[in-house]
A and B are shown apart, each in its own frame.
Chain A
Amino acid sequence: MDIDLIFRIAAIGILVSILNAVLKQSGRDELAMLTTLSGLVLVLLMVAKEIANLFNLLKTMFQF
């Protein structure tokens, strides 16, 4: 059971939200945008690995 992956994504989301708020407060909108983007890419990398696992599982199960 990979519940820790969900927790990791939640932690990244909360962290990015906080960083975004802080950076916006201090008037650095371009840096806030960059944090949002990097958080998104980080989560996307994690999810992409799992999607590859899912497709491998499907290939073995359904004999593609």
Chain B
Amino acid sequence: MEIMQIVIFSLLSTIIIVMLRAHRPEIAVQASLLAGIIIFALIITKLSPIFEFIKIYTSKTNINMQYLPVLIKIIGIAYITEFGAEVCRDAGENSIASKVEMAGKVLIAILAVPIITTLLELIIKIMP
């Protein structure tokens, strides 16, 4: 049972971080960052069968395969942005967190441009 492992790990690290935060807040921030990285590394490798599944069904339907990597890349950017912003917010730096989120949104918008372009082309073609 992987979820038991993760819950026990997170409980232990939470206890340790709360203990550290009273005396050394700067080290507590880094410990919580490390706990997040470890949990993420443990669970992210389980995601590849799901991507394979999505790829198989995309190739079965007639969707252009070049959009799938863009989609997966957008998911990655969204996750990593959230991760960085949450670490900043935990440390009390709300302004930096919101700037990180804005940067993530801009990068996602840039990646989504080709998809939006094809959608707009389609709409223009349909319009009389």
Residues A62 and B23 in contact, CB atoms below 8 Å apart = no
Closest to B42 in A: A1
The answer, yes or no, to whether B30 is at the interface (CB within 8 Å) is yes
Output the least CB separation between B56 and chain A (Å): 16
The 0/1 profile, CB within 8 Å of A marked 1, for residues 80-114 of chain B is 10000000000000000000000000000000000
How many chain A residues touch B (Cβ–Cβ < 8 Å)? 30
How many chain B residues touch A (Cβ–Cβ < 8 Å)? 34
The answer, yes or no, to whether B24 is at the interface (CB within 8 Å) is yes
**CB-defined contacts of A61 to chain B, threshold 8 Å:** 44-45, 47-48, 76
Closest to B68 in A: A63
Q: Complex formed: what's the CA distance from A39 to B20 in Å?
A: 13
Residues A6 and B16 in contact, CB atoms below 8 Å apart = yes
Which residues of B in the span 36-75 have a Cβ within 8 Å of any Cβ on A? 37-38, 40-42, 44-45, 47-48, 69, 72-73, 75
